[in-house]
Structure 1
Amino acid sequence: MECLIDHIVIDVRDRIAEGAAAFRRLGFQLTPMGKHSLGSANHLAVLGRDYLELLGTDVPGGALRPDLAPFPAGLNGLVFLGQDSEALSAEQQSRGVPVQPALSFFRPADLPDGSRADAKFKVVRLDRAAAFDGRVYWCEHLTPEHVWRPEWQVHANGATGVARILLSVRDPERQAALFRRMFGAAAVTEGADGRAILRAGAAVVEAAPHAAVAAELGAAAPDPAGRGDHMAVLGLRVASPAATAAALSANGVTLLAPSPGLLRVPAAQAMNTTIDFMG
């Protein structure tokens, strides 16, 4: 099946206002807060064909969804684009991928004409123990017009789409084996230092050894907060790194420049999420 990233989840727990303020400072335009029928709340940063989701609860100190409660703030959800969720679940089970049955939910959305409608979704989730210490699932959009609206897709930082996800793992081959079962052997290749590389359309998902990730990120790395294998970097494509640098510097954001055309936001400035803006 085709492998495409649908969205990336940043957990903000009960600090959704703080998370929204941090990501607006980073130059993202966020959608109004949405409230899911599952009991969670979110803001989105809608990009060209994928998006970022700040996910938690709208109540400071409030209870979190049981599937979110064990995780710290930061990158936590790798979400692929789903179609025909019931068939997808059956197919993945036949491949030996430990997925749960399709789950339907919704959130009310305000429309441009002032009316309201439900944004509807179906998801197929992997069992938590199947992959890294985070959440992996497919999302099927039954009402994509309530997510990808042109007025939400322009960001001061110039972000246009997800380019790279970096996983910090003990055993890249274990993660590679799962991706092969999910998407087929041809979707995964081996890179430098034994890392596994999953091609996801124009983006890549890399599973690299802990030591390699630590060497790449240094002090810009997220705090694992007790996790073992975890999502470490969110890489976003931008049209002009120079324009991105100017927009973020005007907001007081401290940027690193590890290599030409690459700007890095240390995790401490982005809800425990290391963000790369890539030209």
Structure 2
Amino acid sequence: MTRTTAAGIHPLDHLVLPVRSLDVARARLTALGFVVAPTGIHPFGTENCCVFLADGTYLEPISVGDEQAAAKAIADGNVFVARDRVYRDSRGDEGFSAMVLATGNADADHARYVEAGISAGDMLSFSRAFTDTAGKSDIASFKLAFASGSKATDAFLFACERVNAPKVDRAALQAHANGATGIVEVVAVSGQPAEQHRLISVAVGDPTVSEQGGTFHLPNATLNVLDPASFTSRFGLSAGAPTELRFAAVVFSVRHADVTSRLLAANSIKHDISGNDIVVQPASGQGAAFIFREIK
């Protein structure tokens, strides 16, 4: 996976998917053919069960495991937990709340966000234990800088600096039965896509993006911001309630679409074919539309 410093266009790092229950999320993601990592506990009340992909990106389904700790974190100014609460209060406990960008200098990103007037609040540094499928553990440490539009309560973006990457073997966690190898596209919905250009261009570190319509080319993926009609036309899915900005779908690369479709059928996962895409509608434990695309 290509990573840049704050001076360049940032790659996609991971996606945050609020869920009500990690047990439900784990069961759903397993049925979709993903290997799900052991539960990770944050020091501020939230917990996750990640899906790691061979391209270095990952999904972070997240739930609130300790309400008291989460409430204290919000009171202490923890932007990550506060935005999770805002999302759940607005959209419910299942969804797709944040797109996370890889950076080598979160402090510089925070300074850019503040200068541009899009900072969502104070930076956050934390560490947590990480365990692989063999039970080997190490400590993962992160530093985060947050960006958000003043009206975009359904979505936010943040830059993530991996201060300490766990020295564990993720190979088994990346061998998915559905053949997924990476994330090639993230799709968002907006009633006014053009108004999201400045927020996203500053967040990703691309000053020229305002001339590229609703498409933002990152080093390792594409972000497309569509109006509701275009989203429905492209994927055959409802765009949901009106929104300034909401992340709605994840497009995964797979080696063989027929292998993916057979697995989904065997696990009784309803799916539709839209051109070259296999489209799975959101469900409990899977807060976004999942789209599988064969890429040779």
TM-score, normalized by the shorter chain, greater than 0.5: yes
Residue 185 of structure 1 pairs with residue 207 of structure 2: yes
1:269 positional shift:
6.4
Verify the 8 A CA contact 1:222 1:273 in the aligned structure 2.
no
Secondary structure at the residue paired with 1:206?
A: strand
Residue 215 of structure 2 is aligned to residue 211 of structure 1: no
User: Cα deviation per residue 1:215-254 (whole Å; 9 max; x = unaligned)?
Assistant: 3334x34654x75531111111111111111122111111
The question of 1:70 aligning with 2:86 is answered: yes
**How far apart, CA to CA, are the structure 1 residues paired with 2:239 and 2:27?**
19
Counterpart in the other structure of 2:178: 157
What value does the CA root-mean-square deviation take over the aligned residues? 2.7
- How many residue pairs get aligned? The number is 271
Partner of 1:56: 63
Kindly state the Cα deviation for residue 99 of structure 1 after the two structures are TM-superposed.
Answer: 4.7
Please tell me whether the aligned partners of residues 133 and 173 of structure 2 are also in contact (alpha carbons under 8 angstroms).
no
Q: Distance in 2 between matches of 1:16 and 1:89?
A: 31
2:286 to 252, 271, 274: 271
Partner Cα separation in structure 1 for residue 31 and residue 284 of structure 2: 9
Deviations 1:78-118 (A, max 9, x none): 11112121122123333444253321012112367756432
Alignment equivalent of 2:142, drawn from 115, 118, 121:
121
For 2:97 and 2:162, locate their aligned partners in 1 and report how far apart those are by CA, in whole Å.
20
Q: Which has the higher strand share?
A: 1
Tell me which stretches of 4 or more aligned residues in structure 1 moved more than 4 Å.
Answer: 111-115
Q: Give structure 2 stretches of 5+ with no counterpart.
A: 1-7, 72-80
**When the two structures are superposed, what TM-score results if normalisation uses the length of structure 1?**
0.86
1:106 to 100, 107, 127: 127
Partners of 2:239 and 2:226 lie apart in 1 by 15
CA pair 199-102 structure 1, distance change in 2 beyond 3 A = same
TM-score calculated relative to the size of structure 2: 0.81
Where in structure 1 are there 5+ consecutive unaligned residues?
none
Which residue identity does 1:67 align to in structure 2?
R
Secondary structure of the structure 2 residue equivalent to 1:107 = strand
For each residue in 1:169-214, what CA deviation from the matched residue of structure 2 results, as whole angstroms up to 9, or x when unmatched? 0111111122233323334553xxxx51100123111111122223
Q: What is the alpha-carbon distance in structure 2 between the residues aligned to residue 271 and residue 147 of structure 1?
A: 27
Correspondence 1:224-239 to 2 at 5 A: 224=241, 228-239=244-255
Q: What residue in structure 2 maps to residue 16 of structure 1?
A: 22
Could you tell me the percent identity over the aligned residues?
A: 22
Cα distance, 1:140 vs. partner? Answer: 1.1
Residue identity in the other structure for 2:228: H
The one of 266, 273, 287 aligned to 1:250: 266
Deviations 1:125-151 (A, max 9, x none): 114636462121111112223577222
Q: Which moved more, 1:84-93 or 1:33-42?
A: 84-93
Separation in 1 of the partners of 2:119 and 2:86? 20
